[in-house]
Amino acid sequence: MKVKKWFRIQASLAIFLMCFTFLYSFDAMALASDRDQPIELEADTADIDDLKGISIYTGNVVLVQGSMVIKAHKLTLYNDKNKELEKAVAVGKTGKLATFKSRPEGKDQDFRARASTMIYYLKKDKIHLLKNAYVWQAGDTFSGDKIIYDTKRETVMAKSRKNKDGQTVKSGGRVKVIIQPKSNNK
């Protein structure tokens, strides 16, 4: 019994250390100049309510701002009282997840993410990836049912999917991390 407990503690420590190493490899989420670039948006339909500060775009939505690209079936943009973009909610559709891509400062490879739903809090520098969440950069990957990435602090929190009894779903619901050897990262 004590051996099993010791093994669980060692396994938990190993997972923590791998996650720390993975997170440490991320630089700032995007190029510093991205926020100064205009937002270009394409969609099949647009419903814009300027008074409420909400814009809803549907059908093959593509948002581009500098190196950042968000693709989704539906994208809802929320502006604050100063009419500055505060939050973007991207939703995929059955069989096609919403995607996010940007070039981190000082890197030659993009940071990419995909999920059924992505909530990007621009002012808080956080991205919440919900259901079928997956992030990768330079061969390193991180997946789970829910991933919260803090772009400013360069931290990530991932959770596995639980069933109604609070048990981890065995098939595809667990958090998974793959870290490439340092010799492969550039």
* Distance (Å) of CA 30 to CA 35, 93, 103, 104, 180: 9, 26, 5, 4, 22
Asked if the structure places residue 85 within a domain, the reply is yes
Residues across the chain: 186
pTM passes above 0.85: no
Asked if the structure places residue 185 within a domain, the reply is no
Range of the domain at 102: 2-178
Task: Give kind and range of the element (H or E) at residue 3.
Answer: helix 2-24
CB atoms within 10 A of CB 16: 10
Asked if the structure places residue 118 within a domain, the reply is yes
Number of domains in the chain: 1
CB atoms within 10 A of CB 22: 19
Walking along the chain (186 residues) 10 residues at a time, the average pLDDT comes out as 44 36 36 75 94 95 91 95 90 94 80 93 89 84 86 75 54 68 61
Domain holding 166: CATH number? 2.60.450.10
* Distance (Å) of CA 156 to CA 38, 89, 186: 28, 19, 21
Residue 167: the pLDDT is 54
Asked if the structure places residue 184 within a domain, the reply is no
